[in-house]
Structure 1
Amino acid sequence: MPQQIDYFRDYLSRLELQIGKDRKDGIINNAVFIVSAGTNDFATNYLPLPIRRKMFSVADYQGFVLQNLQEFLQGIHNLGARNMGVVGLPPIGCLPIVITLFGFGDRGCIEAFNSMAFTYNNKLQNLLQKTSTMLEGSQLIYVDVYTPLFDLIQSPNKYVVAVFLCSSATRHE
């Protein structure tokens, strides 16, 4: 994440050279930044690596990721970001890689990992409420991807009908 802030800082310098400081500041202050952090941290760095699970409990790793995220939000805020949408974790126990690694032949979602993601998302929402009071002039919004994705996985027929209706309407026009 610190590298991402360095990239952003470099971008801002180049932007300012092209359009000037005032226009650059206006663009950045009014832009919406979408931040997604945590999915790969859990799905590819924590769950499949036994050494990580020995070093950190789930709660400790959640805290580690959230602390890094908070520092990142502070960093981009210091560079002018004011409007930030922060994406929560999806139902990690339903990710194909997680099911393949930990499903032991069962192709269904792994509830324990979904529960871990759900708990993280609650902690993330609390963090965003606290952080928004510390970042003057900022607006932090939690973006829930867990609920719609889980609903899509659990009730795919609801969405197949909607796609069919859209496709049929397009054909008849």
Structure 2
Amino acid sequence: MFRKKMLVLALFSIYFLSIEAVRNESFPALLAFGDSMVDTGNNNYLLTLMKGNYWPYGWNFDSKIPTGRFGNGRVFSDVVAEGLGIKRIVPAYRKLYIAPSDLKTGVSFASGGAGVDPVTSKLLRVLSPADQVKDFKGYKRKLKGVVGRSKAKKIVANSVILVSEGNNDIGITYAIHDAGMRLMTPKVYTSKLVGWNKKFIKDLYDHGARKFAVMGVIPLGCLPMSRLIFGGFFVWCNFLANTISEDYNKKLKSGIKSWRGASDFRGARFVYVDMYNSLMDVINNHRKYGFTHEKNGCCCMLTAIVPCSNPDKYVFYDFAHPSEKAYKTIAKKLVEDIKTGLA
């Protein structure tokens, strides 16, 4: 009887270990593209004012020093990679040196301030979609040198491609820069954004990417900056900005459904990552999640010249970027959505 029990226990152990191995093998790496939600320091190497490599950014990061991430610690790409069981920190591709182990498990090509509108990245002098695709091609060459052509192709095809676009296009280019210059209504603009995003994703697909986790925009009208400027000094969210954000997200989600199984995306998988409702839930129910401040940022604003003492109490770290705790809070469900949608 004892031997039978030990045999059953051993078989169960082998089964669960094999399941875990398959799970990890299904997502060998995370490759992040887009804006500051997933940029882990690429802007450090650009001639741009859009940088997060100075204090008080990085206040709660492992090394206690600024890394170029726009927040007090890790950003969404880091948190998702950890949730998927890949690794805890996703390095920026433009770092001077990337270890072979990091090439095999993923990097970030994103750039704070970037967008898919052709105007956005030029306006802020950051990496455009074309620049990020070019870096992606360079990454593939380096990866091939480490693991060989066949395995490199497999890693890219099975990696989670995390894409965050639209936040700067709507929040900066359309709201501030355009000011009607291109005579586009919000609905026309959001439709164009989805088209530009599709083109960007198609470029990544043409270079071997197959598993896409496409992030919607966050509630841009509830950012501390939006509340301060347009919403009545932190009393209300900016209704118009949120309406445009929701319209874009609705069209993006619908577009993703239509891309599945389309001839130009044959073999690709897509999942929509609902950043808007996830973060709005935290904002509306902030005390439930352990936050005491949902309207003002912890630092880097006229209303927060002296950084707060505990960023974990703030939904937003600065004028526009969630705190690490906020990212970790919303990531719990979103990581499961990614696993289910792309596994």
Q: TM-score range by the shorter chain?
A: 0.7 to 0.9
Question: RCO (CA 8 Å, sep 6+): is it higher in 1 or 2?
Answer: 1
Instruction: Provide the identity percentage.
Output: 27
| Contact map agreement 1:48 1:101 (CA 8 A) in 2 | no
- Any idea what the Cα deviations from partners look like across 1:25-57, whole Å, max 9, x if unmatched? 1111111110000011111111122x3433121
Q: d(CA) in 2 for partners of 1:97 and 1:40?
A: 13
Q: Does 1:156 align with 2:283?
A: no
Residue of structure 2 in register with 1:40 after alignment: 168
Alpha-carbon distance change, 3 to 152 in structure 1, aligned in 2, over 3 angstroms: same
Offset at residue 144 of structure 1 (A): 0.4
CA RMSD after TM alignment: 1.9
Offset at residue 99 of structure 1 (A): 2.0
- Any idea what the Cα deviations from partners look like across 1:79-125, whole Å, max 9, x if unmatched? 11111100001111101222233224353211221121111111001
User: Which residue of the other structure, out of 118, 130, 139, is the alignment partner of 1:2?
Assistant: 130
| Contact map agreement 1:91 1:117 (CA 8 A) in 2 | yes
Offset at residue 129 of structure 1 (A): 1.1
Q: After superposing the two structures, state which structure 1 stretch, 65-74 or 9-18, moved more.
A: 9-18
User: Which residue of the other structure, out of 152, 161, 168, is the alignment partner of 1:24?
Assistant: 152
- Return structure 1 stretches of 4+ with deviation > 4 angstroms: none
Q: After superposing the two structures, state which structure 1 stretch, 93-102 or 26-35, moved more.
A: 93-102
**Which amino acid is the alignment partner of residue 23 of structure 1?**
K
Residue of structure 2 in register with 1:112 after alignment: 240
Alignment of 1:12-161 (within 5 A): 12-49=140-177, 51-55=178-182, 56-134=184-262, 135-160=265-290
| Contact map agreement 1:82 1:138 (CA 8 A) in 2 | yes
TM-score, normalised with respect to structure 2: 0.45
Any idea what SS the aligned residue of 2:235 has? coil
| Contact map agreement 2:213 2:272 (CA 8 A) in 1 | yes
| Contact map agreement 1:89 1:117 (CA 8 A) in 2 | yes
Offset at residue 18 of structure 1 (A): 2.3
Q: d(CA) in 2 for partners of 1:9 and 1:133?
A: 25
- Any idea what the Cα deviations from partners look like across 1:114-150, whole Å, max 9, x if unmatched? 1211111110011111122221111100000111211
Structure 1: gaps spanning 5 or more residues: 164-173
Q: d(CA) in 1 for partners of 2:203 and 2:168?
A: 21
TM-score, normalised with respect to structure 1: 0.86
Structure 2: gaps spanning 5 or more residues: 1-128, 292-311, 313-343
Any idea what SS the aligned residue of 2:213 has? strand
Q: d(CA) in 2 for partners of 1:6 and 1:111?
A: 37
Any idea what SS the aligned residue of 1:54 has? coil
Q: d(CA) in 2 for partners of 1:148 and 1:74?
A: 27
Q: Comparing both structures, which one devotes a greater share of its residues to helix?
A: 1
